[in-house]
Structure 1
Amino acid sequence: MNTIEIEAFLAVVNYGSLTEAASSLFLSQSTLSHRITQLEKDVGMPLINRGRGLRSLTLTPNGSEFLTIAREWMDLIHKTKEIQTNKRELKLSIGAIDSAQSYILAPIYKILNHLKQKIDIRILTLQSSELYSLLNYGDIDIAIGHFEQPTPSMVIKKFSSEKMVVISKGILPTYNGLLIDQELDTGDQLYYGFNISFRSWYDRWIGDREYPTIHVDTANLLHTFMDDEKKWAIVPLSMANCMEETDHVSMYRLKNPPPDRICYQIRKKYPRENAVESLNIFDSCIELIRDQKAPKSFHLYRDEN
């Protein structure tokens, strides 16, 4: 049994006739028929019904079972060819939460995009809770998320931190440059509850005021609902800086602000071999952004190792 025989068998299955299958493979019907016959000898059982009067070829019961094996065989051949073709390419799969993708990792992605050394980059936007399982299964090589989940097989480090501020299209009353918490109408708030520590702070901060009626979990939804001057939200500074330009919002500081928003970098202790060089390049891009001290909306932690 070999690949050309499997290919002939799958062509007959796909087209249902020797004529069309042979044409698709640029073979004569006799050559295709010979390959099918040889395959049946190799596997020791008939695979295709060849009775007279049949308008289309059909599989025997054994042929139907063998079809799964044939498809798996060709799938392995294709994957092997992909490995051979891309063996010199660097690959990197990055998973991150929505706000980190758009406002923290964006300058790093710009540098990666302009590197002369080609890196095949795959980027996934995920919830923090999904990152660890995808890392564990090898679907991503590095993750940027909101919380630490101690795992023996992972290395978790602080990646970035930033202040939390209030944004609004309207003019909010301030005293000595600060917003007074109790004077904010939470009925007009767009609640962006991105992690557990913020939600815990918020439950204490809101006191006996009413909870907001609109809860969102992505920055894009904030753009959608920030549609009048009464609406306001508490967001990370990197997001506020961007929305100041795109949505013409104003930024305010709270008298009693939430704790700084911290993002964590998560990697496997022992990454796959062909991702090590790409991860090192990613680290170099982080260092470049850090050394430029830009953007100023967030702080990137230095690797202490």
Structure 2
Amino acid sequence: MNPVQLETYLAIVRQGSLSRAAHHLFVSQSTISQRLDSLEKEYGVKLLNREKGVKSISLTNEGERFYQLALKYETLMIEARSIGKMQEGTTVTVGAVDSVHNYILHDLYARIIDELPHIRLGIHTYQSDQIYSLIAGNQLDIGFSLQDRIMRDVKVTQLFEEQMVLVYPTEDGESVVENGSLNPTKQLLINWGAEYQIWHEKHWGPVANTAIQVDTVKMLYMFLSKGGYWAIVPISVARALREKGGWPILQLTDRPPNRVCYYVAKEEINQAAREVSEVIFRSGELIGQIVKLWEDG
């Protein structure tokens, strides 16, 4: 596959039809068709479902898989074209769960950019279990996971921990709620790790049985706004929800274990990732102080 074929295929998929792809690339529709035909012949697969009288296209199973490969190829080409510019700086990729990125570490990222202007940050959102495999596969330089694992050649260090609390839009005025008084069918679950799962099972059964599971705070807010739902979240998230929705932050009679966030990286990392890591660990104490203030407030 050459760059022209790549550009053509991605344009077809993104524009949704051969005619719109042709208009986008400033070529004729017959040229688009010829490029697509040559691509299909080169790999011996049918990439698109094309029916007479139907303007839009759909991908075959092979076309779906090929599209994912084409996206990776596109990324590599962009990086290759930027290699001259990248000599002046290096990108360090960082992965974490949504709530850690947006409610704890956003100020840390700003500090890294201020202190290390020659380094670019690639910030990506993943689930905790994904982060370890991405680190091991050299697809991430640094990860922040809610899970503690032992992996060969991977360094895992606790960065901070924070209290878990109940957010429940209620007007009964109570500040402490009995675990057993909560309706499990109205729970909004985010899986906060192994210790949390054990604690959760004691009161409401396995997390897998929960009716509504979400993975972003935005989804939590949407359901909480409907009323009647409740969620157990870190204090940092609870304060953000309180500011946005005005909902009280409550304690449970049997409190959940604190959420712990771990720094994860290969034992041997490049110079840029080392510099970023130094800023992270210098800021670790500050993050802990901020979390403590949230809990006291």
| Superposition TM-score tier, normalisation by shorter sequence | 0.5 to 0.7
Deviation of 1:245 after TM superposition, in Å, equals 0.4
**Equivalences for residues 150-299 of structure 1 within 5 A:** 150-172=150-172, 174=174, 177-206=175-204, 212-290=210-288, 293-295=289-291, 296-297=293-294
TM-score (normalised: structure 2): 0.66
**Amino acid paired to 1:128:** S
Cα contact 1:90–1:275 (8 A) shared by 2: no
Unaligned runs of 5+ residues in structure 2 are: 8-33, 35-41, 44-74
Q: Which moved more, 1:178-187 or 1:237-246?
A: 178-187
Write the distance in 2 (CA, Å) between the matches of 1:274 and 1:285.
17
1:130 maps to 2:126 = no
TM-score (normalised: structure 1): 0.65
Deviation of 1:79 after TM superposition, in Å, equals 5.6
Change (3 A) 1:184 1:274: closer
Change (3 A) 1:298 1:95: farther
RMSD of the TM alignment (CA)? 3.7
**Amino acid paired to 1:158:** Q
Change (3 A) 1:78 1:173: closer
Deviation of 1:167 after TM superposition, in Å, equals 0.6
Structure 1 equivalent of residue 11 of structure 2: none
**Amino acid paired to 1:218:** T
Change (3 A) 1:96 1:298: farther
Cα contact 1:144–1:265 (8 A) shared by 2: yes
Deviation of 1:240 after TM superposition, in Å, equals 0.2
Write the distance in 1 (CA, Å) between the matches of 2:146 and 2:102.
15
Matched length: 232
Change (3 A) 1:172 1:113: farther
Partner SS for 2:148? coil
Deviation of 1:253 after TM superposition, in Å, equals 0.3
Change (3 A) 1:76 1:223: closer
**Equivalences for residues 98-137 of structure 1 within 5 A:** 98-115=98-115, 117-137=117-137
Write the distance in 1 (CA, Å) between the matches of 2:241 and 2:157.
28
Cα contact 1:98–1:126 (8 A) shared by 2: yes
Write the distance in 1 (CA, Å) between the matches of 2:118 and 2:172.
49
Write the distance in 1 (CA, Å) between the matches of 2:132 and 2:278.
20
Q: State percent identity of aligned pairs.
A: 24
**Amino acid paired to 1:186:** P
Write the distance in 2 (CA, Å) between the matches of 1:229 and 1:76.
47
Give 1 or 2 for the bigger CA radius of gyration: 1
Partner SS for 2:294? coil
Deviation of 1:277 after TM superposition, in Å, equals 2.5
Write the distance in 2 (CA, Å) between the matches of 1:143 and 1:100.
11
